[in-house]
Every structure is written in C-alpha cells, then in structure tokens.
Amino acid sequence: MHRTKVRVVEDVLDANDTIAAANRADFARAGVRVVNLMSAPGAGKTALLERVLGELRDDGVRVGVLEGDVQGSLDADRLASLHVPVVQLDTDPGFGGECHLDANMVRSALPQLPLGELDLLVVENVGNLVCPAEFRVGEHARAMVCSVAEGEDKPLKYPLMFRTCELVLVNKLDLLPHLDFDLDKLLGNLDAVHPGVERMLVSARTGAGLGPWRGWLARVAARAEVAA
C-alpha cells in the first residue's frame, strides 16, 4: 500500500512538471519572465506587491499578476487598482478549494493574460507553506514571504518552502516592538535549511526595505540570474 501511494504522488508531480515545462516554453516565446510568490496566509504578499508594482511600471517594466486564491477577488481587485493586468484564478471546485496553484491551473489562465505585452508576470500563489513548494508552474524564480508574526521556527517546520526559493522576504518588521520575537533566531533557522539564500527585511506598512525588493523583481524581468 505504501508503494502504491508513493507512485501516485510521483505520477502527479511528473504530470505537473510536464505541464510546467510547456508553460515555461510559452513564457519564453512571449519573452516574459515569471516569479512564483508564496507564503502562509496573511504574511503580506499582496501588500508587498501593492507597494512596488506601480513603481516598476513607472520604471518601464511591463508587469502583470496572476492572482491565486481559494475563492474571491479581494486581492486581485487591490492590484488591479494599480492599472496593471491582473487575472484572478480561484481554486475552489465547490468543496473547499485546492491549497495551491499547479501548472495546469496556471496554463488554463494563460489565454487571459497579455503575455506578449509583459516583461514580468508575478504568480501570487495561494497562501500555504506546504503544497505550493511541491508544484512548479513554469516560473523562472521563486520568492516567499515570512512575517515576523509567524514565529522564528517556520523554516524548521516547513523546510521545503524555504529551500526551494531564491529569495525570502521577512515582512512586518514594524511589529517587532510589539512581539516576543528573535529576528536573529529566525535568520539562523533560515540558514540551517537554506544557507546563504538571499533575504530581505521589509515592512509593507512603512515601506522599509522595499527598494531592494523592487530591484530584485526588476532584475528577474531583465533576465538577470538570481542566486539559488
């Protein structure tokens, strides 16, 4: 029974990887680069995008967003107000919804995106620290957001999520005076699971540290290599 379960998982991931490769080929033909942005629910993905997408657009980076949620368009509506192309992708099939975007879901949304008019597509994944790390969607780079409100042990509890990203954004620094939180311990735990991974300390609320975040996205859009 155990071997059968493992085989099913392998088949699902193999199928997903095949579709992710097809997505990647479509992105290459369109000349667009893709970032898969992940986090736990409420870590601040949308807020961090709100703070930089307008400036990226003003800098000449043509950026769009594929917004993944279980249900509802609240986040997509916030980003659409910045006058960037946004496509909403709900994962709810009527009984609770998938906890992640997979390559096939993303592929189903591609006809709605003006890929040929974009330099950068940000896929804002469903809030979850487990499943999104398993499923590639054809992206060129992965970033994740970890807020200080989540505790210092998240890299140890969810190592794959932190290990598969090129960038970790530590958000909500403005809350540090109000929390019993050891930032050095979090960064040490991050190094324990992904030594040397690029990290940025930011606050979407105050704007602290957002220049490097905007610059990182611009580098991906410009097809610059990001450290794994």
Task: Going residue by residue through the chain, which has 228 residues, state the pLDDT in tens, using 9 for 90 and above.
Answer: 445 454 545 677 889 999 999 999 999 999 999 999 999 999 999 999 999 999 999 999 999 999 998 767 788 889 888 899 999 987 765 444 578 899 999 999 999 999 999 999 999 999 999 999 999 999 999 999 999 999 999 999 999 999 999 999 999 999 999 999 999 999 999 999 999 999 999 999 999 999 999 999 999 999 855 554
Q: What's the token pair of residue 168?
A: 């970790």
Amino acid residing at 214: R
Using DSSP's 3-state secondary structure scheme, residue 224 falls into coil
Type of residue numbered 114: P
- 62: Cβ contacts below 8 Å, ≥ 6 apart: 117, 118, 119, 120
Query: Coil, helix or strand for 136?
Result: coil
Angle formed at CA 97 by CA 105 and CA 120, multiple of 5 degrees: 35
- Count the neighbouring beta carbons within 10 Å of the beta carbon of residue 154: 21
Give Cα 124 to chain centroid, integer Å.
5
Question: What is the Cα–Cα distance from 84 to 80, expressed in whole angstroms?
Answer: 6
**Three-state secondary structure call for residue 165:** coil
Domains and CATH numbers, the chain: 2-142+210-221 (3.40.50.300)
pTM, full prediction: 0.90
Distances (CA, A) of 67 to 32, 72, 101, 189, 191: 17, 10, 10, 30, 30
Contact 151, 184 (CB under 8 A): no
pLDDT at 99: 84
Please state, in angstroms and rounded to a whole number, the distance separating the CA atoms of residues 132 and 155.
Answer: 15
| CA-angle at 127, arms to 189 and 54, nearest 5° | 100
